Chains A and B, each alone.
Chain A
């Protein structure tokens, strides 16, 4: 499959994620949208690393491996982020009985 397809798919996923983050106020949905964006990036990384491998495998056996390693990193970071973020959301819900992010602007006071 040509690389273009992956790129289009990833861009589409990313834009959906962005739109979600921008428009929704529910913290959990925002989280899910962020995950969506991260995964769009993951998809791209994997796709590109495969492409590189194909192009350079002849004289460089481990070509493109960096991209895949990055993906693992991102997955780990995303998991960590979710755990912290969910904890915050839970705390927020306990305090405000809401998970509307607009409540958070009170932090500035």
Chain B
């Protein structure tokens, strides 16, 4: 089955082409069938391949389609690699992707046929690119997917292109991703000059023989790419703005899949990072800082999607922390559980927005009774992200935190504080929106009704996954050797694990850590719930809260130190340097010639006598020269 892996990206590509080219001729139901069906087909193929990879003794399979670039000594095949890591990501992408496609058929139903088709074609193109990203057997194919998902994100953020803010957000997302991409590209060139190849097998095989400084450089550059795509400091500011897109897009691209591309990339090149401890520490520091920093901002946001966006940034920070401390399985585990509960939360938020046409949580309240299914699933999602056992987030977060403790307790402490804040802001959001009394208009209340089944079914499925997903990775402390995911992913990370001496946290200490983190999460949940369900924060924040609500003024800072100077420089070059100096010199040469000839013209007086005199003088001068030269 693995050799048919090309079918997985093929279906969404076909879906994209059909919906994209025939967008004016198809009806909505046909568009939905093509859009969802193509992803479902991919899902089925992925599941079949997955069942094959579960068999013991499965070796990674390379499927070579054609020669993409074959110039001089650079051979880049258009090839796919099927192994445990890529198939896991495939399942997440196609599985969550399918649910979100299904959800979108109802959510986007008010769009015109043509735009409905456009939406689904973009979404299919996104799934296609994402599949390329995780399936590629070399860094270039990965980069193709990498840029492809960036493009789709751009197109989908700016889906409602009539509004300028949305377009600005789209452009911002693309450009900030591009900054990261440049880092990725330079890392690619470095690999080419160092290894002469970009194939995973060659690069990872030769990595141990490579100088450590080069590996550190390459991994740091790759990290720049990852920070762009996965919204880490300093390139995270695009993600909250990206919420301008339709909510299912936020769920699929900006929460569940695309933003985890950076984690996939680092997990894929785990061997390089393991061999470059400096970069590993940088990854961990960036991760933990981002997790903390984004959580502080999320505390004071009032837009339901903005809260979720910052919580995504924060959770991605956790994953980076996991990668940085060598807990690759933990990071991938968190990618998976996060995909479940964050998609759930976003879709729940979408269901709320769909019902109310309102995103400000201060104008919600009391939705518990009005939207029962949404409420219940949303609550489960909140519990999962807060890290309450036995929901999915608890297991994955715990794995990362205990690995962090083993590496450096400071990571653990910051991570713990972040967990507290996470529980706090998620339940602030939950309590403000769902508890208490309805604060919207009377008109809204009349029209509120629970969303149709295309919306609630994905919610329920994701809620179930958020509840049980965690049992794939039960810590050894509880049940020995029952970490299914670790066993499954073992072949991918085997090499790194043998290279790095992981310090196992002892049984009793690990239990203490788990107890502390659960306790902290519970404190956050209970405090928030009791405080915000009765009297939610409705006013404008003051003092330090205002700094948080304005996101630490980072956007303004970037604007001041990067955007403005670049613009000023551009203006200077354009209007002064180019026109006045360079063109001035060019025109100056022309003017000198003109001036000179105007002066020379005066010699042509028309007086015959003057001409003759000049002639005679000329002859005399020639004679003089002749005589001087003779001597």
Chain A contact residues, CB within 8 Å of chain B:
18, 21-22, 25, 101-102, 104-108
Name which residue of chain A comes closest to B605, CB basis: A105
Which of B16-24, B305-313, B535-543, B608-616 makes up part of the contact surface? B608-616
Chain A contacts of B604 at CB under 8 A? Answer: 108
Q: A104 to chain B: closest CB distance in Å? A: 6
| Cβ–Cβ contact B608 & A104, under 8 A | yes
Interface residues of B in 166-222 (CB under 8 A from A): none
- CB of B606 within 8 A of chain A? yes
Name which residue of chain B comes closest to A108, CB basis: B606
| Cβ–Cβ contact B612 & A22, under 8 A | yes
Partner of A101, one of B605, B608, B613, B616: B608
Chain A contacts of B608 at CB under 8 A? Answer: 101-102, 104-105
23 examples of A-B residue contacts, CB within 8 angstroms: A18-B616, A21-B609, A21-B612, A22-B609, A22-B612, A22-B613, A22-B616, A25-B609, A101-B608, A101-B609, A102-B607, A102-B608, A102-B609, A104-B606, A104-B608, A105-B605, A105-B606, A105-B607, A105-B608, A106-B606, A107-B606, A108-B604, A108-B606
A18 to B612 CA separation, bound complex (whole angstroms):
9
Interface residues of B in 597-629 (CB under 8 A from A): 604-609, 612-613, 616
A106 to B606 CA separation, bound complex (whole angstroms):
7
A18 to B609 CA separation, bound complex (whole angstroms):
11
Q: A22 to chain B: closest CB distance in Å? A: 6
Name which residue of chain B comes closest to A34, CB basis: B612
A21 to B616 CA separation, bound complex (whole angstroms):
10
Chain A contacts of B613 at CB under 8 A? Answer: 22
Chain A contacts of B609 at CB under 8 A? Answer: 21-22, 25, 101-102
A104 to B605 CA separation, bound complex (whole angstroms):
11
Q: B147 to chain A: closest CB distance in Å? A: 70
Chain B contacts of A25 at CB under 8 A? Answer: 609
Chain B contacts of A18 at CB under 8 A? Answer: 616
Q: A4 to chain B: closest CB distance in Å? A: 18
Chain A contacts of B612 at CB under 8 A? Answer: 21-22
A22 to B604 CA separation, bound complex (whole angstroms):
17
Q: A34 to chain B: closest CB distance in Å? A: 10
Q: B83 to chain A: closest CB distance in Å? A: 91
A21 to B610 CA separation, bound complex (whole angstroms):
10
Q: B606 to chain A: closest CB distance in Å? A: 3
Chain A contacts of B606 at CB under 8 A? Answer: 104-108
Chain B contacts of A108 at CB under 8 A? Answer: 604, 606
Name which residue of chain B comes closest to A21, CB basis: B612
Chain B contacts of A104 at CB under 8 A? Answer: 606, 608
A102 to B607 CA separation, bound complex (whole angstroms):
6
Chain B contacts of A101 at CB under 8 A? Answer: 608-609
A83 to B188 CA separation, bound complex (whole angstroms):
89
A22 to B620 CA separation, bound complex (whole angstroms):
14
Chain B contacts of A21 at CB under 8 A? Answer: 609, 612
Name which residue of chain B comes closest to A25, CB basis: B609
Given contacts A101-B609, A102-B607, A108-B604, 9 further A-B contacts (CB under 8 A): A21-B609, A21-B612, A22-B613, A25-B609, A102-B608, A102-B609, A104-B608, A105-B606, A105-B607
Q: A12 to chain B: closest CB distance in Å? A: 16
Name which residue of chain A comes closest to B616, CB basis: A18
A25 to B616 CA separation, bound complex (whole angstroms):
17
Q: A31 to chain B: closest CB distance in Å? A: 12
Top 8 A-B residue pairs of the complex, sorted by shortest distance between their CB atoms: A105-B606, A108-B606, A101-B608, A105-B607, A21-B612, A22-B613, A18-B616, A22-B612
A31 to B609 CA separation, bound complex (whole angstroms):
13
A5 to B605 CA separation, bound complex (whole angstroms):
39
A102 to B613 CA separation, bound complex (whole angstroms):
14
Q: A105 to chain B: closest CB distance in Å? A: 3
Name which residue of chain B comes closest to A109, CB basis: B606
The contact string, 1 if C-beta is below 8 Å from chain A, for chain B 576-614, is 000000000000000000000000000011111100110
A22 to B615 CA separation, bound complex (whole angstroms):
10
The contact string, 1 if C-beta is below 8 Å from chain A, for chain B 370-398, is 00000000000000000000000000000
Chain A contacts of B605 at CB under 8 A? Answer: 105
A107 to B608 CA separation, bound complex (whole angstroms):
11
A70 to B613 CA separation, bound complex (whole angstroms):
27
Chain A contacts of B616 at CB under 8 A? Answer: 18, 22
Name which residue of chain A comes closest to B604, CB basis: A108
Q: B577 to chain A: closest CB distance in Å? A: 44
Chain B contacts of A106 at CB under 8 A? Answer: 606
Q: A26 to chain B: closest CB distance in Å? A: 12
Q: A51 to chain B: closest CB distance in Å? A: 22
Chain A contacts of B607 at CB under 8 A? Answer: 102, 105
A21 to B607 CA separation, bound complex (whole angstroms):
12
Q: B607 to chain A: closest CB distance in Å? A: 5
A28 to B499 CA separation, bound complex (whole angstroms):
112
Residue from B604, B609, B613, B616 having most chain A Cβ neighbours under 10 A? B609
A18 to B605 CA separation, bound complex (whole angstroms):
20
Q: A42 to chain B: closest CB distance in Å? A: 19
A22 to B610 CA separation, bound complex (whole angstroms):
8
A66 to B190 CA separation, bound complex (whole angstroms):
82
A107 to B604 CA separation, bound complex (whole angstroms):
12
A68 to B517 CA separation, bound complex (whole angstroms):
125
A106 to B605 CA separation, bound complex (whole angstroms):
10
Interface residues of B in 397-418 (CB under 8 A from A): none
A56 to B465 CA separation, bound complex (whole angstroms):
124
A18 to B613 CA separation, bound complex (whole angstroms):
9
Chain B contacts of A107 at CB under 8 A? Answer: 606
Chain B contacts of A105 at CB under 8 A? Answer: 605-608
Name which residue of chain B comes closest to A19, CB basis: B616
A89 to B239 CA separation, bound complex (whole angstroms):
94
A21 to B608 CA separation, bound complex (whole angstroms):
9
Interface residues of B in 124-179 (CB under 8 A from A): none
Q: A24 to chain B: closest CB distance in Å? A: 9
Name which residue of chain A comes closest to B613, CB basis: A22
Name which residue of chain B comes closest to A101, CB basis: B608
Name which residue of chain B comes closest to A104, CB basis: B608
A65 to B522 CA separation, bound complex (whole angstroms):
129
A80 to B255 CA separation, bound complex (whole angstroms):
103
A41 to B377 CA separation, bound complex (whole angstroms):
120
Name which residue of chain B comes closest to A24, CB basis: B609
A40 to B612 CA separation, bound complex (whole angstroms):
18
Q: B293 to chain A: closest CB distance in Å? A: 83
A108 to B605 CA separation, bound complex (whole angstroms):
8
Name which residue of chain B comes closest to A102, CB basis: B607
Q: B99 to chain A: closest CB distance in Å? A: 92
Chain B contacts of A22 at CB under 8 A? Answer: 609, 612-613, 616
